[in-house]
Amino acid sequence: MTEPKDAADPRAPARLVLVTGPSGAGRSTAINALEDLGYEVIDNLPLSLVPRLLDGPPLARPLALGIDVRTRDFSAAALIEMIDRLTRVPDVAPEVLYLDCAPNTLIRRYSETRRRHPLAPAEQPALGIAREIDLLAPIRARAEVLIDTSDMSPHDLRAEIARWFDTGTSARLAVSVHSFSYKRGIPRGVDVVFDCRFLRNPYWDETLRPLNGQDPAVAAHVASDPRFDPFFAKVWDLVTLMLPAQLQEGRTHVAIAFGCTGGQHRSVAMTEKLAATLAEAGWQVSKRHRELERRASASGSVAG
């Protein structure tokens, strides 16, 4: 692992964190924590004004923008369009921080505070929570950093924000590893994609079919393919060559994706193995399983 690039390097793009998520998930706590870390913070700035903000003088320090459904002119489509525009600005390195939370936890938090939900001011909070989670689903899918606050105290969340976004004296590179199904297309925003469809498929084993790549039996089945070890070794060689170079270039986030037919077995197993190996090597890493998350959401399970 090479020496990190100095965060004050004038060649590095300015860090811009877009903080969003369902109401009650801890956005205000996250915004305050980022401000304490030295970020310039603006909450609920109308989306239409963000480009004008960045047209001014170069940012002297990292910037965090709080965005939620109360933001003027907010819509998922408008926010995604803005994110796409920001990725094309050479002097800015945008990241989406999505604060997720289990619906039951959000309902409990609203009942404890007796607040009205912005999407259901005259109805039960549960209705507004369901509407908001559905509305924000496309944004959640675009998040570089996803933090589930369901079991977190405000102190825990502050510590997690510091782990991901502390500017310190050195730049840090966040790596996210994704699994997906080619049937639903390659996830947007990923930097590197590996195809796992040539590996032994657990789907054809009836005992493994209902499981996923997080299960040790499925992982062992995939790893038993003679091509698995050489494939992972080459992936690892490429990743360990690429990540230090990306860090030197001032990148703050790199997304790596593994795809297979259904996004349930082989790609999940590869994602789990690479994420664990990266973490052991000292990289800051998160993982996302798009199809598993989608199925959990469709079955009424907790998102995240």
Least confident interval from 238-242, 243-247, 262-266:
243-247
**Domains by residue range for the chain, with CATH:** 14-165 (3.40.50.300), 174-298 (no CATH)
Over residues 81-95, the pLDDT tens digits come to: 998 888 888 888 899
Residue 20 in contact with residue 52, Cβ under 8 Å?
no
Please choose, from the candidates 180, 181, 189, the residue with its C-alpha nearest in 3D space to the C-alpha of residue 255: 189
Q: What is the mean pLDDT of the chain?
A: 87
Residue 80 in contact with residue 142, Cβ under 8 Å?
yes
Task: Provide the greatest CA pair distance for the chain.
Answer: 61
Over residues 66-78, the pLDDT tens digits come to: 998 888 888 889 9
10 confidence band (pLDDT: 50, 70, 90):
low
Least confident interval from 66-70, 97-101, 163-167:
163-167
Buried b (16+ CB within 10 A) or exposed e, 258-277: bbbebbbbbbbbbbbbbbeb
> Phi/psi of residue 147, each to 5°?
-120, 120
299 confidence band (pLDDT: 50, 70, 90):
low
Say what the pLDDT of residue 296 is.
Answer: 77
Determine the Cα–Cα distance for residues 219 and 229; give it in Å rounded to an integer. Answer: 12
Is the pLDDT at 177 greater than 80? The verdict is: yes
Is the pLDDT at 169 greater than 50? The verdict is: no
**What does the DSSP assignment read for 160-209?**
HHHHHH---SB---EEEEEEEEGGG-PPTT-SEEEE-TTS--GGGSTTTT
Say what the pLDDT of residue 218 is.
Answer: 97
Is the pLDDT at 304 greater than 50? The verdict is: no
Say what the pLDDT of residue 297 is.
Answer: 67
Q: pLDDT: is 207 or 53 the higher one?
A: 207
Say what the pLDDT of residue 100 is.
Answer: 94
Rounded to two decimals, the pTM is: 0.60
Say what the pLDDT of residue 136 is.
Answer: 93
